[in-house]
Structure 1
């Protein structure tokens, strides 16, 4: 069986695909890092909302008849609930981004394994073809030349 003449083209295609997969993995890593930073910011906002709610509660407990204190407390409770929901959303997005990065990284590994296997097979096929050519050349040599080579 002859060596596939399209081998170099297939190797080029595999190289380009590997570059694309590597770029996708890097992009997924950057997205995961951004998601982690967004989660940190959301947690900081949530902590600030908790502190604001605590302050509003103290103001309300000092003056329970004040409508402004009650309004501030209600508003701060709503802000804290919104911040908690935002933290949960950011946490979910971080999980998704980490999963996407993991899958992209695994895709690069699978591609590299396939590429290495195909390259090893191609090299083996080339060696076999070279041995066949050498065997044919040796078989075609006159007997006297072969005896002098020994």
Structure 2
């Protein structure tokens, strides 16, 4: 059987690549979880800002001439706008993180499929080399007795 010096190297390269892809998928999952936590925080902040604004509106409706109430209402509106922007940003980041994680997982899957196909092909080549070596050995064994008969 012919030795395949590149085979071990290819296997090692595939292992290293799988390790890197798996690490990237793990990091992407952690980033997606962190983005989800930030999204929850942003949703809570947005809800709190809406509730505070509703309270400020009620206070302003009760005393529309009060400058402090008007200032509080304006500040609550600003906080709600900021919270809405933060919420939109958190949603976008969460979506990107989820997509990145999904792509990293797909990359690991594609690598495993490719590695399995290559391994199957290599095993078939090794079996074919063994059969050829056996055929040659049989042919040589048949030729040897004929040569000695002369």
Q: What is the TM-score with the length of structure 1 in the denominator?
A: 0.91
Matches of 1:45 and 1:51 in 2, distance apart?
10
- What is the aligned partner in structure 1 of residue 133 from structure 2? 133
Deviations 1:34-65 (A, max 9, x none): 11111011000000001111111111111111
Task: Report what 2:148 is aligned to.
Answer: none
Task: Name 2:81's counterpart in structure 1.
Answer: 81
For 2:108, the equivalent position in structure 1 comes to 108
Cα distance in 1 for residues equivalent to 2:106 and 2:11 = 20
Residue 5 (structure 1) shift = 2.2
Q: Where has structure 1 moved over 4 Å in runs of 4 or more?
A: 142-145
Partner residue of 2:52? Answer: 52
Q: Distance in 2 between matches of 1:3 and 1:100?
A: 41
Offset at 1:144? 9.1
Give the Cα separation in 2 of the matches to 1:143 and 1:13: 43
Render the CA deviation track for 1:67-122: whole Å, top value 9, x for unaligned.
00000000001100110111011000111111111111111111111111111111
Match of residue 148 from structure 1? none
Ranges in structure 2 where 5+ consecutive residues have no aligned partner: 146-150
Q: CA deviation at 1:14?
A: 0.4
Aligned length: 144
Aligned partners of 1:75, 1:66: CA distance in 2, in Å?
Answer: 14
Aligned to 2:14: 14
Residue 141 of structure 1 aligns to a residue in which SS? helix
* Residues 1:30 and 2:56 are matched in the alignment: no
RMSD between aligned alpha carbons? 1.6
CA distance in 1 between partners of 2:144 and 2:133 (Å): 20
2:19 is aligned with 1:39: no
